[in-house]
Chains A and B, each alone.
Chain A
Amino acid sequence: MPKFEWLNPVKGFGVTFHHIFKKPITVNYPEEKRPTAPRFHGRHQLNRWPDGLEKCIGCELCAWACPADAIFVEGGDNTDEERYSPGERYGRTYQINYLRCILCGLCIEACPTRALTMTNEYELADTTRESLIYTKEMLLAPLMAGMEQPPHPMRLGETEEDYYRLGRDNG
């Protein structure tokens, strides 16, 4: 239709004007946060048993699984006087370098006691390299109600086997 060719630019602007009446889709991030996917791979967390003992047994499987060599674990021996986890050993030093970690979750898959899981927290930016190496104190889950700060003796059974059967018996 050569007769109405002059209308084409108007049509083009029609799209623009149409959008004036649409709601903006922008998320005002620092003020309002959209929830992540429930299984989002965020910052790690070292979990505890219901009595407060640590689940980490210092086996280093997470460090071995890590493709970026971001995890450093050093195991230590539990004694009856100083007990951090049920069983023989616990993770004495636990560090994750978040400037190496690619948040792939292979460490989570490797963990035999489900001690290491991931949270949905993602605001990690910082100003120095050192501050982004998270130590065990920063990664450990906070003490919930009924939990006691280790070291303390096993409260939920005689041996570590009782602990590991906990989850199984409860379904």
Chain B
Amino acid sequence: MGIEEKLPSGFALTTVEQMAGWARKNSVWPATFGLACCAIELMSTGGPTHDLARFGMERASASPRQADLMIVAGRLSQKMAPVLRQIYDQMAEPKWVISMGVCASTGGMFNNYAIVQGVDHVVPVDIYLPGCPPRPEMLIDAIVKLHDKIQNMKFGAHREKQVQELELQALRTLPLIDQGMQK
């Protein structure tokens, strides 16, 4: 990316992070990936009653190159999975993914050979949003939670440090079955 990656860690970088985070979170352009019934709620969220434009998201991008946020709305079939990945790859960095609805998040009630059991098998997901389908308020809630994540994104030296810390933390995490034993 740009010059902000080369800044030394410290006050200047923190300021740049905050400013860039503020600018980014207020201009997230979604690449809609409506696959099923969740897309109807997604359209409803863009409508006048809930009005996504309040968050600087009025332009639902039909072209992935101009999009920052992919909202995967609906069950992802095995056949659609490569397409989803390609669209994701075509999006420019920085990019985020909301997995909208239970089918996109884990496969939901469709536990069968045709449906990918969660889009995180294909793309990295930032926010999981349950609901079948989630009401527009739930989607806006997920977007607000994502805004928080975008605002606090780290750059350059800070980012490297954060990645290392997360890696260490992931290495130390016990398997789920052992976590249950601790209680």
Contact = CB atoms under 8 A, between A and B. Distances in A.
A158 interface: no
B137 interface: yes
Contacts of A127: 126-128, 145, 149
A100 B115 CA distance: 13
A126 B48 contact: no
B21 interface: no
A106 B176 CA distance: 28
A16 B107 CA distance: 44
B106 interface: yes
Interface stretch (B24-32, B49-57, B62-70, B81-89): B49-57
A125 B127 contact: yes
Chain B residues touching A, majority SS: mixed
Interface residues of B, number: 33
In the A-B complex, list the 7 residue pairs whose CB atoms are closest, starting with the nearest.
A102-B132, A125-B142, A68-B109, A98-B130, A99-B106, A99-B105, A125-B129
A168 interface: no
Interface residues of A, number: 30
Contact of B141 (A27, A30, A101, A104): A30
B138 A124 contact: yes
Given A99-B130, A125-B145, A25 B135 contact: no
Interface of B: 48-51, 54, 102, 105-109, 111, 118, 120, 126-132, 134-138, 140-142, 144-145, 149, 176
Contact of A26 (B50, B107, B120, B129): B50
Contacts of A67: 109
B26 to A, nearest CB: 14
A20 to B, nearest CB: 14
B50 A27 contact: yes
B130 A130 contact: no
Given A30-B144, A67-B109, A100-B108, A124 B131 contact: yes
A97 B118 CA distance: 13
